Amino acid sequence: MKVGVVGLGYWGPNLIRNFLSNKEVEKVCGCDSNISRLKFIKSRFPMVELTEKWDELLNGYNLDIIVISTPVATHFPLAKASLENGKHIWVEKPFTFNSNEAMELIETAERKNLKLFVDHTFVYTGAVMKVKELVDKKVLGDILYFDSVRVNLGLFQHDVNVIWDLACHDFSIMDYIINKKVVGITANGIANYYEHENIAHIAVYFDDNCFAHFHVNWTSPVKIRRVLLGGRKKMLLWDDLHPAEKIKIYDSGVEVNSLDQIHNALVQYRTGDMYSPKVNETEALTLGVNEFIASINENRKPLTSGEDGLRIVKILESAEASIKNKGKFINVAV
């Protein structure tokens, strides 16, 4: 297959490297309007053909696949044009700026029988795959809550707030792991430096008394990436920055036989052993590229399809609506 990558910023070299190393890819081309980025890419990947012009990428190399790694506002026109020209597409997260755009791209891909892959890259990490496996096997029991923290002294984005930049990752992780219906969202936060929020707290309500919360912050002096997952049987901690023990499963919980017991017992909780399974360390992007190409070869939807991207865009839209209205509860069904 022949692959073209548009947008060669921070993530571009990783995309090029991973497509280059997939054995079904015979050629990778690149496109960016910034000449210095083209020079940088050339020095690292001399075999990649490069152009400044989008039209040339779209039409000039007989490509099968277009990878869109540009600012989110441009995802829709580039993706739409690619599909209309018969290309399978890979779109970086967040999928689109709004759900209408997402729905139109999904419809276009279906009409043209082309594959649409949304790069929810964390879904392909060993840690998330392991958590998914544990949840699906009911090791934790029914999930009661999902609590996520992703804070850092991080890059401000030009065009979007910290929800679209960071929480987007965590929404896609939650969406993959928890098989429950979201019914409402609230978001609170603050913009200390310019019009976009640098701190946000998003609460997600599910239809069966399950609850999720997301804390994202571009202005924390320390870096934390941690998810707590509470189940009726066991509880899980995923610390993505731990060098070796990323996932810990605690045989701990609250045990209630009757209401009366809660009201009277001095100690209602139970703590037991902890277990930390080894996690696959294959680079997530490698597995994502494999899945995308397999979905094309097998003529099926990829694991992170346009529909998955759409659900996350709906959550992002709702969070945005809420944070602009001081935490107003937004009904949403995804």
In whole angstroms, give the CA distance from residue 17 to residue 38: 15
Which residue in the block uniquely carries the two structure tokens 């419809």? 107
What single DSSP character describes residue 155? Answer: P
Supply the minimum distance, in Å, between the C-beta of residue 176 and its own copies.
21
Region 156-185 residues binding its own copies, contact defined as CB under 8 A: 156, 158, 184
Alpha carbon distance 141, 69 (integer Å): 38
Q: What is the chain's length?
A: 334
Closest CA to 95 of 29, 39, 169, 23: 169
Q: Select the span of 85-93, 96-104, 244-252, 313-321 touching its own copies (CB under 8 A).
A: 244-252
Stretch of 24-32, 87-95, 98-106, 229-237 contacting its own copies, by CB under 8 A: 229-237
Instruction: Indicate the residue among 278 and 300 with the shorter CB distance to its own copies.
Output: 278
Compute how many residues bind its own copies; rule: CB under 8 A: 72
> Least Å distance between CB 266 and its own copies?
7
Q: Which residue has tokens 């045990």?
A: 255
Assess contact for 122 and 284: CB atoms under 8 A.
Answer: yes
Nearest to 15 by CA among 299, 37, 35: 37
CA–CA gap between residue 163 and residue 323 (Å, rounded) = 10
The residue among 271 and 282 lying less far from its own copies, judged by its C-beta, is: 271
> Is there binding between residue 333 and its own copies (CB under 8 A)?
no
Q: Which stretch binds its own copies (CB under 8 A): 82-90, 104-112, 115-123, 151-159?
A: 151-159
Residue found under tokens 């310019």: 194
Which 28-87 positions form the footprint of its own copies (CB under 8 A)? 46
By CB under 8 A, name the one of 113, 137, 221, 257 that touches its own copies. 221
Q: Name residue 131's amino acid.
A: V
Site residues for its own copies, 245-264, by CB under 8 A, read: 245, 248, 250-254, 256, 259, 262-264
- Mark the segment that binds its own copies (CB under 8 A) among 49-57, 121-129, 186-194, 303-311: 186-194
Q: Which is nearer to its own copies, 17 or 301 (CB)?
A: 17
Beta-carbon count within 10 A of 285 CB: 18
Q: What is the distance between the alpha carbons of residues 51 and 200, in angstroms, rounded to a whole number?
A: 38
The interface with its own copies within residues 264-303 (CB under 8 A) comprises: 264, 266-269, 271-278
* Contact (CB, 8 A) for 196 and 217: no
Stretch that binds its own copies, among 27-35, 61-69, 191-199, 290-298 (CB under 8 A): 191-199
Binding mask 106-145 toward its own copies (x if CB under 8 A, else -) reads --------------------------------------xx
Closest approach of its own copies to the CB of residue 193, in Å: 5
CA distances from 294 to 23, 142, 172 (A): 12, 33, 21
Taking the C-alpha atoms of residue 19 and residue 169, their distance in angstroms, rounded to an integer, is: 22
Q: Taking the complex as a whole, how short is the minimal distance between the CB of residue 264 and its own copies, in angstroms?
A: 8
Q: How far is the CB of 211 from its own copies (least distance, A)?
A: 4
| Cα–Cα distance list, 99 to 109, 149, 171, 248, 317 (Å) | 15, 25, 15, 36, 8
Stretch that binds its own copies, among 84-92, 103-111, 199-207, 296-304 (CB under 8 A): 199-207
151 binds its own copies (CB under 8 A): yes
For the stretch 111-131, what's the b/e string if a residue is b when 16 or more beta carbons lie within 10 angstroms of its beta carbon? Answer: eeebbbbbbbbbbbbbbbbbb
Distance CA 205, CA 186 (A): 9
User: For its own copies, which residue of 34, 73, 193, 300 counts as binding (CB under 8 A)?
Assistant: 193
Which range touches its own copies (CB under 8 A), out of 59-67, 91-99, 195-203, 311-319? Answer: 195-203
